Structure 1
Amino acid sequence: MTFLRVILVLFLVQNTVAQSISGKVVDEKSKPIEAVNVYFDGTTIGTLTDKNGNFTLNFGAKLNSILVISCLGYNSEYITNFKPNEFLNIKLNMSVNVLREVVVQRDGFPREQKMEVFKKQFLGTTKHGKSTVIENEEDIYFAYDANTKVLEAFADNPLRIINNSLGYKINYQLVKFDCKLYPWTTKPKAVRNCYYAGLTRFESISNLAKIKKKRNAVYDGSRLHFFRSVAANNWKNDGFRLFIKSWEVNPAAFFAVKDTLDFKKITVTTNKYQPAIVKILAEFDLFRKGDQSKIIFETDTFFVDKLGNNSHSDKIYFSGSMSEQKVGDMLPMDYGIN
């Protein structure tokens, strides 16, 4: 079991029928650990170990995700390959707590402004993003390089995020946050680009009808909706329209879908409208119900599973409407999946 680095590709556990998995979590002295989080990343599928360190986790067919075992005071474990219905014996090692010295950087960039940049880029600026709260902001610390204009954020403990607007509590283990600012200012709006990644566990804290309505509205036209639509070749029914420059094109001519075991393999036909930018293989505009987004591919092949996970999230970029949805508008990957 090894730590998974920044690119969190979720195509590792392959199952074909409804399954369950059981196990026991112990410490370095083989003593059981109670209240350990055991969950599939990005989903609501999770549980806690009992007083004997035991757990049982039920999950649906064809789930492809990283199994995370996490507990405060211990190094997390990530299981990427196991047989369905097997019993897992998991040992957690105690983490080394390093007291970080708080250094006041004389960079003209106060912590309050850094936090403002972080929350706008991480939680988002939509109505849901603005109302979402990080309960333990004090666990977030920053590093800013005045030469490269890059702001980094770190957190030793999982972020406890409450999204009352969509009715979710999110446990977010921040893996990476890099934000490139424009050179002439450190104002929160002056962000050139930003990238973050992490591991998430969702818990529903409300199932009121009005909350469900909000969730449906967020899903409608989201990136999750888009990738499921691409995999199902359901562009028209889902209302997505594809354009190259100002010309509407047939998605089937540019996105070939092939079944491969539990995944859909998507092959993108490249178009050379950005010859000066070598990495870009294809670029399209997306329209849906008046919303416009741009999608850029640095890969011509990717895979999508039943949940809508795509295998190359680090090489597929969005701008426009879809890029505005951050953690404050994030839904679990198993949303709407029976």
Structure 2
Amino acid sequence: MKKLFVIVTFVCSFFCYAQTKISGIVRDQETKKPLHGASIFAPQTTNGGATDETGLFSFTLIEGQTQVLISYVGYESVIVPASSFTATDKSNVIYLNPIVNNLKEVVIKKISAKQREKYMEIFNREFIGLGKIAEKTKILNPEVIQFDMNKENTLLIVTADAPLQLINEKTGYFISYELVYFESKVLTEEHNQKLTTFFGYPFFKDIVNEKELNTKDVTKTRLKCYKGSTMHFIRSLYNGTMESEGFTVLKFTRELNPDYPSQDSINRMMDAFRRNGKIPQIPAKHKIIYDKNHQKVHQLVFEREGKKYFYFTDFLSVVFRRAKEENKYTEYYHQSEADYQTSQLKLMEDTPIEIFADGTYAEVDYLGSFGYMGWKKMGEMLPFDYQPEPVVPN
């Protein structure tokens, strides 16, 4: 399996500049020879490039891009703080280690073609998504994907031996995705709902000109992906424009419903259903109690030492009133058309998270997204240097 390493330096903080030019040389750790064609990019953006025949790279980072990822086929990828490149009195040399396959440590589990097809279907649904835009995404190198399912068939773990290569001509992007981890867990206590978490480092390449795509159609699709997205919401929090951009936010709590039946009662209901075909009326496990007043930006965001933080307790209901939910989503979750996009947010750790102007936020696994935001996956993901463009009418 391809490993991902983080280079640790003695720099205690990151420095953000409007523009920062970085350069360096990528070499093989063992031979010290330069690596021609190594990929280097700011994760989750379209900003990057490759090394020349001498291993040299040079490009410009914009404000908020604090890391670069360097990868090369057959080598362990590394994440390097952008601040490491600010020194001008020394040569910036990055050494990559060749991947060593230690067969003694690797247990290869054979799965049938039918099992692989089933796991790939789960991966496509939970990683790429099911929307009309997302379903146009193609994985160009599925052979690098490895699956591992536990004995109880409740936890699917996915790894990749090389960066995943994705393409979506609807959004106009080719994506190289360094998958760090992917887990999809069945929550038996929540009526077998799935909790999927994944993390990685995508690099976006604009393919509109290369594929001769219709610019107007791509612009319209990207704007549709952006409106109401987590990135859009975080940007509106940072800029203090949450309400004016169409978001309405309410806090709510979940309390155990005292009328919720025991597991034994549910089992009896299901047995009766199998005998007579009558669908049991099982009440919701939790009661939702909403606050009466809408949340304002100043109640959710505070500033400290020039940095902005997002914090709330319990849960947030986030409604985006300027777009409807996709039919596929409403049919599955509501059975009826919804006028607005409705999502839920929860802080997985009781601590504020720093937010940034481009819509990113620190400690990505601290913020849980459910509902419509959670339904949107990689197939509708945009780079964080994306800026909305107006759609030109005919």
Name the TM-score class by shorter chain.
0.7 to 0.9
| Preserved contact between residue 223 and residue 388 of structure 2 (Cα < 8 Å) | no
Out of 355, 365, 368, which is 1:317 matched to? 368
Residue 216 (structure 2) pairs with residue 209 (structure 1): yes
SS where residue 285 of structure 1 aligns?
strand
Aligned residue type for 1:104: K
Match of 1:70 in 2: 71
Out of 255, 258, 261, which is 2:303 matched to? 258
Out of 242, 248, 256, which is 1:241 matched to? 248
- Structure showing greater radius of gyration is 2
1:232–1:259: structure 2 CA closer, same or farther, 3 Å change rule? Answer: farther
SS where residue 297 of structure 2 aligns?
helix
1:260–1:335: structure 2 CA closer, same or farther, 3 Å change rule? Answer: farther
1:308–1:75: structure 2 CA closer, same or farther, 3 Å change rule? Answer: same
Residue 318 (structure 2) pairs with residue 286 (structure 1): yes
Aligned residue type for 1:72: V
Out of 353, 365, 377, which is 1:326 matched to? 377
1:109 CA displacement? 7.4
1:163 CA displacement? 1.2
Out of 82, 86, 93, which is 1:89 matched to? 93
Match of 2:57 in 1: 55
| Preserved contact between residue 14 and residue 64 of structure 1 (Cα < 8 Å) | no
1:83 CA displacement? 4.5
Out of 180, 183, 190, which is 1:175 matched to? 180
| Structure 1: unaligned runs, 5 residues or longer | 6-10, 271-281
CA distance in 1 between counterparts of 2:170 and 2:297 reads 37
Residue 279 (structure 2) pairs with residue 229 (structure 1): no
SS where residue 178 of structure 2 aligns?
strand
SS where residue 133 of structure 2 aligns?
helix
1:90 CA displacement? 1.1
1:105 CA displacement? 4.4
1:283–1:101: structure 2 CA closer, same or farther, 3 Å change rule? Answer: closer
CA distance in 2 between counterparts of 1:33 and 1:269 reads 47
CA distance in 1 between counterparts of 2:120 and 2:13 reads 34
- What's the TM-score once normalised by structure 2's chain length? 0.73
- The alignment's C-alpha RMSD in Å is 2.7
CA distance in 2 between counterparts of 1:92 and 1:129 reads 34
Residue 20 (structure 2) pairs with residue 19 (structure 1): yes
| Preserved contact between residue 16 and residue 66 of structure 2 (Cα < 8 Å) | no
User: Whose RCO is larger (CA < 8 A, sep 6+)?
Assistant: 1
CA distance in 1 between counterparts of 2:297 and 2:202 reads 33
1:330 CA displacement? 0.4
1:147 CA displacement? 2.7
Aligned residue type for 1:306: A
Residue 123 (structure 2) pairs with residue 118 (structure 1): yes
- What's the TM-score once normalised by structure 1's chain length? 0.85
CA distance in 2 between counterparts of 1:160 and 1:306 reads 28
1:249 CA displacement? 1.4
**CA-to-aligned-CA distance 1:50-94 (integer Å, 9 cap, x gap):** 11111111122x223321110001111211241436452111121
| Preserved contact between residue 24 and residue 55 of structure 1 (Cα < 8 Å) | yes
| Preserved contact between residue 153 and residue 178 of structure 1 (Cα < 8 Å) | yes
Residue 148 (structure 2) pairs with residue 104 (structure 1): no
CA distance in 2 between counterparts of 1:253 and 1:313 reads 22
Aligned residue type for 2:229: S
1:230 CA displacement? 0.9
| Preserved contact between residue 178 and residue 194 of structure 1 (Cα < 8 Å) | yes
1:260–1:333: structure 2 CA closer, same or farther, 3 Å change rule? Answer: farther
| Preserved contact between residue 168 and residue 379 of structure 2 (Cα < 8 Å) | yes
The structure in which a higher percent of residues are helix is 2
SS where residue 82 of structure 1 aligns?
helix
Aligned residue type for 1:103: K
1:125–1:49: structure 2 CA closer, same or farther, 3 Å change rule? Answer: same
Aligned residue type for 1:216: L
Quote the sequence identity (%).
27
Aligned residue type for 1:315: Y
Residue 352 (structure 2) pairs with residue 306 (structure 1): no
CA distance in 2 between counterparts of 1:264 and 1:162 reads 34
Match of 1:275 in 2: none
| Structure 2: unaligned runs, 5 residues or longer | 210-214, 252-289, 322-339, 390-394
